[in-house]
Structure 1
Amino acid sequence: MSHPLLEARRLVKTYGQVHALSGADFAVHPGEVVALVGDNGAGKSTLVKTLVGAIAPDGGEILLDGKPTSFGGPRDAQALGIETVYQDLALAADLDAAANLFLGREQLHGGLLGLLGVLDKRAMRARAVEAFGELGIELRDIGAPVATLSGGQRQSVAIARSVAWASRIVFMDEPTAALGVLQRGRVLDLIRRVRDRGVSVVLISHNMPEVLSVADRVEVLRLGRRVARFAAAETSLEELVAAMTGALDTQLDAQLDAQDDAQDEGDPR
Structure 2
Amino acid sequence: MSTATESDPRTEAGTPLVELSDVSKYYGNVKALEGVSLEVHAGEISCVLGDNGAGKSTLIKIIAGLHQHDAGSFTIEGEEARLSSPREALDRGIATVYQDLAVVPLMPVWRNFFLGSEPTKGFGPFKHLDARAMRETTRSELLRMGIDLRDVDQPIGTLSGGERQCVAIARAVYFGAKVLVLDEPTAALGVKQSGVVLKYVAAARDAGLGVVLITHNPHHAYLVGDRFVLLKRGTMAGSHLKSEIALEELTRQMAGGSELEQLSHELERAQGPEHLGGHPMH
Aligned counterparts, 1:45-84, within 5 A: 45-84=57-96
Q: Distance in 2 between matches of 1:246 and 1:148?
A: 39
Q: Percent identity?
A: 43
Aligned counterparts, 1:86-97, within 5 A: 86-97=98-109
Q: Distance in 1 between matches of 2:42 and 2:28?
A: 36
CA shift, 1:246, in A, is 5.8
Is there any run of 5+ residues in structure 1 with no aligned partner, and where? Answer: 249-269
Which residue matches 2:110? 98
- Residue 102 of structure 2 aligns with an amino acid whose one-letter code is A
Which residue matches 1:255? none
- Residue 227 of structure 1 aligns with an amino acid whose one-letter code is A
Q: Distance in 2 between matches of 1:144 and 1:211?
A: 32
CA shift, 1:81, in A, is 1.1
CA shift, 1:239, in A, is 2.1
What SS is found at the alignment partner of 2:120? coil
CA shift, 1:225, in A, is 2.5
Equivalent residue for 1:6, pick from 18, 21, 29: 18
**Does 1:165 pair with 2:171?**
no
CA shift, 1:116, in A, is 4.7
- Residue 58 of structure 1 aligns with an amino acid whose one-letter code is D
- Residue 159 of structure 1 aligns with an amino acid whose one-letter code is I
Which residue matches 2:97? 85
- Residue 200 of structure 1 aligns with an amino acid whose one-letter code is G
* Contact kept in structure 1, 2:42 and 2:205, CA below 8 Å: no
Q: Deviations over 1:216-248 (max 9, x none)?
A: 111112232323221224422332244446669
* Contact kept in structure 2, 1:162 and 1:170, CA below 8 Å: yes
Flag the 1:81–1:234 CA change in 2: closer, same or farther, 3 A. Answer: same
Which residue matches 1:127? 137
Instruction: Report the number of matched residues.
Output: 246
What SS is found at the alignment partner of 2:75? strand
Normalising to structure 1: TM-score of the pair? 0.85
CA shift, 1:41, in A, is 1.4
Equivalent residue for 2:193, pick from 159, 183, 206: 183
- Residue 23 of structure 1 aligns with an amino acid whose one-letter code is G
CA shift, 1:26, in A, is 1.3
Which residue matches 1:28? 40
Q: Distance in 1 between matches of 2:79 and 2:18?
A: 9
- Residue 70 of structure 2 aligns with an amino acid whose one-letter code is D
CA shift, 1:4, in A, is 1.6
Normalising to structure 2: TM-score of the pair? 0.82
Q: Distance in 2 between matches of 1:101 and 1:65?
A: 27
| Larger-gyration structure (1/2) | 2
Flag the 1:244–1:153 CA change in 2: closer, same or farther, 3 A. Answer: closer
Structure 1 moving runs of 4+ over 3 Å: 241-248
Q: Deviations over 1:237-269 (max 9, x none)?
A: 332244446669xxxxxxxxxxxxxxxxxxxxx
Equivalent residue for 1:196, pick from 200, 206, 231: 206
- Residue 63 of structure 1 aligns with an amino acid whose one-letter code is T
Which residue matches 1:213? 223
